[in-house]
A and B are shown apart, each in its own frame.
With several copies, the nearest count.
Chain A
């Protein structure tokens, strides 16, 4: 809260030098997805925080495109760990991998899928919400199973790039 008392506590030259380096540091972060970064060495701590539009700064990574629009949560893009692409729950509800009990699952691990293809259903109050692939790819992992309760944006399935 108290402003750094430069005049009192800082060696002006040094400050100028450090300032330069700090600017470089900041430039390196431009365009990157880093929002908050901190290093500690012994008694010294350095912390870098980059502003974002207010609403967004608290927002988690966005849902993949879905049967339901997810646009308005305007969050920053999220990294695709080891190149896999997450398919997430469009709302809170019950997960089903098949159109109805007993029917074959929409997809199996290893299946190649087209953009727009239905991969699963999340049911909320009798409403069947289709979960569709927002890109073509190959099913690499299915994390949910029939009857699971899922949260909004919970990862249900991972796609990997098709060969």
Chain B
């Protein structure tokens, strides 16, 4: 096992990793910008190094400072968390060069799976289902015409280098293809410095379903069931749950095994997620792979009883996975996560950060709060607006919703200028369609227009 792990991140995930280190008996090193000098992880970690000013370009994204901190403290491993440098092959390579174990896949593997087109090729080769479309970039308009014709409209043109909903256009009619093909390439070139695009069938409506997996360096892989993350606003996840009530045990095993096979086929090591779209007929299509731990990992932990961060650190240290596939299946009960953000739902989710004069998290049975906040902490405008991840577990989905409503009802957060998404979460959880579980990725949009309509009607 490692002696000392440097955590190249901030906020709740930095604290989450530091907690895992403490429980494993591993020393932890926090790095922080001047804006985070009073942060929870700085207080909790065994050591802390100030690496730069608030601007991420000179702190959490500034490789020399982070490597410097690792060398200064003699850390033998580095956990990147999510975001920031977590999926940067170049950074992973530098860690290797400096003799620091990067807790994640090998740089070359990370690069492969990070490239959408390559990932699609590899995973389709490994037997994962894809949407009808190309796995190769589409380089000419004629090609685009032929392919779109074959697939059948609507189709979606996606930048190979894109992500998070950026660099994609939906084409409903053939006559729009030429124009959208050109503009998408142009945008891709401008935004991602890479004009390559591919084309696939566009699903009007579907569910975001993702498989969590962990592979060790001995070629063992285990999938930890799936998460449904269909409650999104502009591709930002708001509520995640595990398991998905739309997968039966057979489908789960099928896609889970395929996902592990795919990951092992490219020599993947560490924790990763395979994203799928689940259409209304129950067909899964592979979208992309995320080569990092994800924000929503706790719901998978609660239904599998496995600490995924500890597992991630173990396998990075060259240890064997501590569990087998049979240990984690069948999934145990139901877990839901709400992401509580410092945003004002009534003002189009505008950031509403500030000092938290009051911060009283919920407690009690099967109620988990992953947060870096405490009374007096200031949610800084320099970084994301996540205040807390509120996660509950219950024997079934209905009781999990009831428990989440209870927990949300006791969460007290206030401060000058601070607004949270708690009321929005409460209204979504109250919605009969959410209760029924029949939620697709366009649910939040519908929900918001329903509310807008009701508001107008009301007055």
Instruction: Report which A residues bind B (CB closer than 8 A).
Output: 1-2, 51, 54-60, 63, 68, 70, 72-75, 91-94, 124-125, 127, 149, 151-154
Nearest residue in B to A93 (C-beta to C-beta)?
A: B68
Which residue of chain B has its CB nearest to the CB of A149? B72
* B54-72 Cβ-contact flags toward A at 8 Å (1 or 0): 1100110011111111011
Which A residues touch B49, using CB under 8 A?
92, 151
Complex: A68 Cα to B53 Cα, angstroms? 11
Assuming the contacts A60-B34, A151-B49, asked whether A55 and B67 have C-beta atoms less than 8 A apart, the reply is no
CB pair A92 B34 closer than 8 Å: no
* Most A CB within 10 A of own CB, among B35, B36, B51, B380: B35
Contacts of B94 in A (CB 8 A): 125
User: Which of B53, B63, B64, B69 is A70 in contact with, Cβ under 8 Å?
Assistant: B53
- Chain B interface size, as a band, is 35 or more
Cα–Cα distance between A58 and B64 once the two chains are bound (Å): 24
For residue A29, give the distance in angstroms from its CB to the closest CB of chain B. Answer: 18
Q: Is the CB of A54 within 8 A of B67?
A: no
Q: Which residue of B33, B64, B354 contacts A93 across the interface (Cβ within 8 Å)?
A: B64
Q: Check A54–B378 contact: CB distance below 8 A.
A: yes
Contact A125 B358 (CB under 8 A): no
**Which residues of B sit under 8 angstroms from A56, Cβ to Cβ?**
35
Not counting A59-B35, A60-B37, A151-B72, a sample of 5 additional A-B residue pairs whose C-beta atoms are within 8 angstroms of each other reads: A54-B417, A55-B382, A68-B58, A125-B63, A152-B50
In the bound complex, CA of A55 to CA of B378 (Å)? 8
A-chain residues with CB within 8 Å of residue B53 when the two chains form the complex: 63, 70, 72-73, 152
Q: Which residues of chain B are near A59, meaning CB under 8 Å?
A: 34-35, 37, 54
Mark interface residues in B344-367 (1 if CB within 8 Å of A CB, else 0).
000000000111001010000000
Which chain A residue has the least Cβ–Cβ distance from B354? A54
The listed residue with most A CB atoms (<10 A of its CB), out of B36, B94, B378, B412, is: B378
A4 to B412, CA, bound (A): 18
Contact yes or no, A124 B379, CB < 8 A: no
Asked if B38 is an interface residue, CB under 8 A from chain A, the answer is yes
**Contact residues, B14-61 vs A (CB, 8 A):** 33-38, 49-55, 58-59
Q: What's the nearest-Cβ distance from chain B to residue A44, in Å?
A: 12
CB of A91 within 8 A of CB of B68, answer yes
Task: Decide: A55 and B65 in contact? CB cutoff 8 A.
Answer: no
Residue pair A152, B52 in contact (C-beta under 8 Å): yes
Q: How far is the CA of A63 from the CA of B94 in the complex (A)?
A: 27
Q: Is the CB of A73 within 8 A of B54?
A: yes
Query: What is the CA–CA distance of A153 and B34 in the complex, to the nearest angstrom?
Result: 9
- Chain A CB within 8 A of B375 CB: yes
Q: Which residues of the partner chain A approach B165 to less than 8 Å between Cβ atoms?
A: none
Determine whether the beta carbon of A55 is less than 8 Å from that of B380: yes
Is B234 positioned at the interface, with any CB of A under 8 Å from its CB? no
> Can you give 19 A-B contacts (C-beta < 8 A)?
A2-B376, A54-B353, A54-B417, A55-B378, A55-B381, A72-B58, A73-B35, A91-B51, A91-B64, A92-B64, A92-B65, A92-B66, A124-B67, A125-B64, A149-B71, A149-B72, A151-B50, A152-B51, A154-B50
B193 within 8 Å of A (CB atoms)? no
- B204-261 residues at the A interface, CB under 8 angstroms: none
Report A-chain residues with C-beta under 8 Å of the C-beta of B375. Answer: 1
> Taking the nearest CB of chain B, how far is it from the CB of A153, in angstroms?
6
Instruction: Contacts A72-B54, A152-B51 given; indicate if A58 touches B35 (C-beta within 8 A).
Output: yes
Closest 6 pairs (CB-CB, A-B): A73-B53, A92-B68, A124-B64, A149-B72, A92-B65, A72-B55
- Decide yes or no: A91 and B52 within 8 Å by CB, A54-B381, A55-B380, A125-B64 being known contacts: yes
List chain B residues, Cβ under 8 A from A74: 54
Chain A residues, Cβ within 8 Å of B353: 54
Q: What residues of A have a CB within 8 angstroms of the CB of B66 in the complex?
A: 92
Closest B residue to A154 using CB positions: B50
Instruction: For B376, list chain A residues within 8 Å (CB).
Output: 1-2
Does B434 sit at the interface, judged by CB under 8 A?
no
Q: How far is the CB of A39 from chain B (nearest CB, A)?
A: 15
- Pick the most buried of B50, B353, B412: most chain A CB atoms within 10 A of its CB: B50
Please report the C-alpha to C-alpha distance between residue A116 and residue B412 in the assembled complex, in whole angstroms. Answer: 47
Contact indicator B58/A125 (Cβ below 8 Å) = no
Q: How far is the CA of A60 from the CA of B65 in the complex (A)?
A: 18
Partner of B378, one of A58, A68, A124: A58
Contacts of A154 in B (CB 8 A): 50
Chain B residues near A58 (CB, 8 Å)? 34-38, 378, 380
User: Residues of A contacting B52 with CB < 8 Å?
Assistant: 91-92, 152
Chain A residues lying within 8 Å of B69, measured Cβ to Cβ, are 92, 151
A60 contact set on B, CB distance < 8 A:
34, 37, 50
Report the minimal beta-carbon distance from B354 to chain A, rounded to whole angstroms.
5
| Chain A residues with CB below 8 A from B68, complex form | 91-94, 124-125, 149
* Chain B stretch 254-287: residues in CB contact (< 8 A) with chain A: none
In the complex, the chain B residue whose C-beta lies closest to that of A150 is B72
Would you call B54 and A92 a contact (CB within 8 A)?
no
Residues on the B chain within 8 Å of A94, using CB? 68
Contacts of B52-110 to chain A: CB distance below 8 A: 52-55, 58-59, 62-69, 71-72, 94
A contact residues around B417 at 8 Å (CB):
54
Chain B: minimal CB distance from A43 (Å)? 9
Contact, CB under 8 Å: B54 / A55: yes
A92 touches B51 (CB 8 A): yes
By a CB distance below 8 angstroms, the chain A residues around B37 are 58-60
What B residues does A70 contact at CB under 8 A?
Answer: 53
Measured in the bound complex, the distance between the Cα atoms of B355 and A63 in whole Å is 24
Chain A neighbourhood of B72, CB < 8 A: 92, 149, 151
